[in-house]
Amino acid sequence: MSLASEEPHATRDSDLGDEELRARLRKTWGTNGGLIGFLSTVDHKVIGIRYAVTSFAFLLAGGVLALIMRLQLARPDNHLVGAELYNQLFTMHGTTMMFLFGVPVGEAFAIYLVPLMVGTRNIAFPRLNAFSYYVYLFGGLMLWGGFAFSIRPDVGWFSYVPLANLDFTPGKGPDYWAQMITFTEVAALAVSVEIVVTVLKQRAPGMTLDRIPLFVWTMLVHSFIIIFAMPAVMLASSMLIMDRLVTTQFFNADAGGDPLLWQHLFWFFGHPEVYIIFLPGTAFVSAIVATFSRRPVFGYLPMVLSLIAIGFLSFGLWVHHMFVTGLPQVGAAFFTASSMAIAIPNGVQIFCWIATLWDGKPVLKTPLIFVLGFFFIFVTGGLSGVMLASVPIDTQVHDTYFVVAHFHYVLIGGTLFPLVGAVYYWFPKLTGRLMDERLGKWQFALAFIGFNIAFFPMHMLGLLGMPRRVYTYPAEIGWGGLNLLASAGALLFFASFLLMAYNLLVSARKGALAGDNPWDADTLEWATTSPPQPQNFDRIPCLTSGSPLWSRDDDQPVVSGLKVDERELVVTSITEARPDIREESPAPSIWPFVAALATAAAFIGSIYTPWAITWGSPVVALALVAWFWPKTSEENA
Amino acid sequence: MARSVIDVSGLPTYAFGSRVTPWWGTFSFCLLEGTGFALGIGGYLYLAVTNSHWAKDAVPLNLVWSAVFTIVLVASTIPNFLIKRAAMRENLRSVRVLLLAMSSVGLVLVVLRIMEFSVLPVRWSDNAYGSFVWLLLGLHGVHVLTDVADTLVLTVLMFTRHGTGKRFSDAEDNAFYWYFVVLSWLPLYALLYWLPRL
């Protein structure tokens, strides 16, 4: 093993003053200019921002689809869009929001923030991180490109068979849908592995398990849920596309298959998916509540245990999406019980946050206001969720607008409100400038009022019997008034996001300067500059408590002895975070981009001929070899 | 002013096993791929229980090539173990020889897997049973193929000037993944080749 004594020539951080050290590290860890440099970057902050911008673009696109649907439903017997296009719209809306926005936006924040919060210089496997972004981007572009050229899936975001079988849905729409799943799940799985390894092995010395910020704990549990849930939908979508393209018989009841197998596999992923989307929201809430209450979150241990409990229980819920498929009663009873049980750890979290606010001195800035909105909306959605967990009620309102109201309360309340709060909260770290508070409060008012006007009436519509996924309804049935109200609310809600886009654009150029730590927060991302240097930290911090910034005096303890001209970071032990290795972090490389391009070509080609996999695989393999083959400059050990 | 409390300059730049990040990366991929196998097995069993035609569809598979495959695969854990040990001792000569051996064994296994496919009594399009047989055999075959490709590249690498230092850790990591390829086969073997005979 190579020890320092064998490498006397290397410059180390302890040899340099602060200014020279920063300049040298910037050079070592920076991203090159030009197109090749742009496509080769492995900086987690750059990739994280790309993930965020891309997922927000898909949010906007998915939102526009929702708005068109609301305009169509605003009055009875409307013919703004026909039945066929309406089917395509709700399929693309759900698919975009779940796969191209909901999951990747959580990954975006994890990629940007987790390495900063644990005090390291880059995410683990940074080239895989770059690869995952391009795969996600190409998957999204493929689905929307197909949409633009009239290759449009129209069988709902969960693509149930037999409707999605070739017999009932010829054309390429469901194939594009199924391959998009593969793209986005490959990306999400890769990011999850990176986050798990970053959290377990790259924490700053002294960040023992009980000093990990709740945000990071949440993202760790989130990543594990992805690792165990996403393979189900990848397997299922691959089986679906094989049924459609090479005549396998997995879901064909006439040849020994079973359409319900699709539902089991899909919801084995699909219910944890709800928590995959929701947990980042709780991560934002934990960070924002602590900072704006001016105290650590009440009940650290119950919070962490609740997170882990949610992780396990989220896998015991999937069958509650299938209560009307004629399951044995004992099965239904089990899944009712576990669906109700998961309310307990969620409740523990809510009460811990309330206790934190209660005991603290809440400062009502925009991020916290959005969190307060989250409490109201999410708890409302949780209550209708407890109702739906009961089989008799579920049977009555299955596939009605009651369910639509429920999951929008949970998903928008649980994820989107904290997310907007998170944008206001971390924007100064990304850009060095604060967002406008006055616009923020206006945005909240618009969003909160608009959301409730849009979605509350849907509970009533559902109880009145209005089914999901109908493109219109007759006037005599009497649903017109509530639908018009919902559509007006949807417009207000959409306007709140336009206001946010305006605020983002203006604040990025003219916002008040933020400084390193504008909110006086406690986690490590606020211990560095805004925006952070490519190396994140000039000197790696050492933790002596769980409150690294609030308990800090001027005498910040740090690590020394890392090389300055190579990308070295400290690998630590899992539980106690003792420094163990100086590992070299991979340098920028164009090959992840090339590998993603080749992967995309093979996947898209496979929709038209299975041989695309045969011919594409060696190209992908070559790109991977080039990616992993060591360069001379990297040979230091 | 920053105060240095820990000097890491004396720490190694690589190590073996669960101390390094690639081990945890490989471990995480084993978890997610293992989940994929488990769900595939679950789907097979689900149809075996729910489908009344299954007993008729599930024709037993030929035992010869699969038995040879399984014996060679299990036996390969011996050179695999030796590579792991040689890598940790940083014995370049042994690692080179053993990697050559493992590459050859891997290529033999790929051929044996192709033979398994060639004697299958069902096609993937015949019925859902056939689809599952092809899917599970193929899914595991892809794992064999990727690790063999990985081993071949690593073998070439160890014969170049790069075959030092951290590459021993990579060789150890590759051996770790091979155990997963072996272990994941055993339940599949029992399921595909023996369950229909019960």
ipTM for the predicted complex comes to 0.95
A73-117 pLDDT tens trace: 999 999 999 999 999 999 999 999 999 999 999 999 999 999 999
Q: Strand, coil or helix: what is B6?
A: strand
The CATH architecture annotation of domain B21-197 reads: Up-down Bundle (1.20)
CB contact under 8 A, B134 and A193: no
Average pLDDT over residues B1-6: 78
CA atoms within 13 A on the CB side of A206: 17
At A399 the pLDDT is 92
3-state secondary structure of A560: strand
What is the pLDDT, as a whole number, of residue A554?
65
CA-based end-to-end distance of chain B: 73
Separation CA B125–CA A255 (nearest Å): 9
Residue of B nearest to A621 (CA): B149
Distance of residue A396 Cα from the nearest chain B Cα, in angstroms? 27
Contacts of A231 in chain B (CB under 8 A): 32-33, 35-36, 39
Q: How many residues does chain A have?
A: 637
Say if residue A637's pLDDT is above 90. no
pLDDT of residue A203: 97
Between the CA of residue A447 and those of A46, A93, A194, A374, A425, what are the distances in Å?
A: 29, 19, 34, 11, 17
The pTM of this model reads 0.95
**pLDDT tens column, A210-243:** 999 999 999 999 999 999 999 999 999 999 999 9
Tell me the pLDDT tens digit for each residue of A238-291.
999 999 999 999 999 999 999 999 999 999 999 899 999 999 999 999 999 999
Helix-helix angle A366-388:A417-431, to 10 degrees: 150
Phi, psi (rounded to 5 degrees) for A541: -70, 155
Between A630 and A458, name the one with better pLDDT. A458
Q: Pick from B12, B10, B25: which is nearest to B174 by CA? A: B25
CB within 8 Å of chain B, chain A residues 8-37 = 12, 14
Residues in chain B, total? 198
- Which residue from A235, A260, A557 is facing B3, i.e. has the nearest CB? A557
With beta carbons under 8 A apart, name residues in chain A contacting B35.
Answer: 227-228, 231-232
User: A621–B4: do the CB atoms touch at under 8 Å?
Assistant: no
For the residues of B42-67, what is the DSSP string, one character each? HHHHHHHHH-TTHHHH-PPPP-HHHH
The separation between CA A522 and the C-alpha centre of its own chain, rounded to angstroms, equals: 23
Dihedral sign for Cα atoms in the order B121, B126, B130, B134 = positive
Q: Can you give the pLDDT at residue A5?
A: 45
Q: Which residues pair with B7 in a beta bridge?
A: A560
Query: Which string of DSSP letters, residue by residue, matches A56-97?
Result: HHHHHHHHHHHHHHHHHHTSTT--SS-HHHHHHHHHHHHHII
Given a contact cutoff of 8 angstroms between Cβ atoms, the answer to whether A135 and A114 are in contact is no
Tokens, residue A321: 């999406």
**Residues paired with residue A569 on neighbouring β-strands, in sequence order:** A583
User: Nearest Cα to A523, choosing from A487, A500, A547?
Assistant: A547
C-alpha–C-alpha distance, residues A104 and B17, integer Å: 31
- For the residues B123-128, what does the mean pLDDT come to? 95
Helix, coil or strand: residue A467:
strand
Tell which A residues from 442 to 481 touch B, by Cβ distance under 8 Å: none
Interchain CB distance below 8 Å, A250 and B132: yes
CA distance A275 to A270: 9
Q: Which amino acid is at A135?
A: V
Q: Taking CA atoms, what residue in B is nearest to A15?
A: B9
Dihedral (C-alpha) B31, A572, A205, A46: value to the nearest 10 degrees?
-60
Task: Using the predicted structure, report yes or no on whether residue A4 has a pLDDT greater than 80.
Answer: no
> How are beta strands A557-560 and B3-7 bridged, if at all?
parallel
Write down the residue that tokens 């595909």 correspond to: B192
Q: Which residue among B4, B19, B25 places its CB closest to the CB of A197? A: B25
Yes or no, beta carbons of A265 and B43 under 8 Å apart: yes
- Per-residue pLDDT at A8: 57
Other Cβ atoms closer than 10 A to A313: 20
pLDDT value of residue B165: 87
| Residue A513 DSSP one-character state | B
Q: B11 vs A230: CB contact, 8 Å cut-off?
A: no
Q: What is the mean pLDDT of residues A541-564?
A: 86
C-alpha distances out from residue A179 to A146, A154, A502, B63, Å: 12, 15, 34, 35
pLDDT greater than 70 at residue B101: yes
Q: State how far the Cα of A140 lies from the Cα of A101, in Å rounded to an integer.
A: 10
Given a cut of 60, whether residue A634 has pLDDT beyond it is no
Nearest to B98 by CA among B143, B158, B145, B149: B158
Q: Which two tokens stand for residue A143?
A: 């689905």
Interval A349-372: pLDDT, tens? 999 999 999 999 999 999 999 999
Give the type of residue at A446: L
**Whether residue A42 has pLDDT greater than 50:** yes
Closest residue to B21, CB basis, from A124, A625, A629: A124
pLDDT of A635: 47
User: How many Cβ atoms sit within 10 Å of the Cβ of residue A407?
Assistant: 17
Q: pLDDT tens across A162-217, in order?
A: 999 999 999 999 999 999 999 999 999 999 999 999 999 999 999 999 999 999 99
Euclidean distance between CA atoms A266 and A237, whole angstroms: 8
Backbone dihedral angles phi then psi of residue A572, each to the nearest 5 degrees? -120, 170
Q: Specify the pLDDT at position A3.
A: 46
Give the per-residue pLDDT at B40.
Answer: 97
How is chain B split into domains, by residue range?
21-197
Query: What separation in angstroms does the CA of A592 have from each of A103, A140, A595?
Result: 21, 18, 5
Give the torsion sign (CA, A220, A271, A328, A406). Answer: positive
Q: What pLDDT does A420 receive?
A: 98
Instruction: Report CB contact under 8 Å: A258, B46.
Output: yes
The answer to whether A374 and A417 have CB atoms below 8 angstroms apart is: yes
Q: What is the CA radius of gyration of chain B?
A: 21
State the pLDDT confidence band at B5, using cuts at 50, 70 and 90.
confident
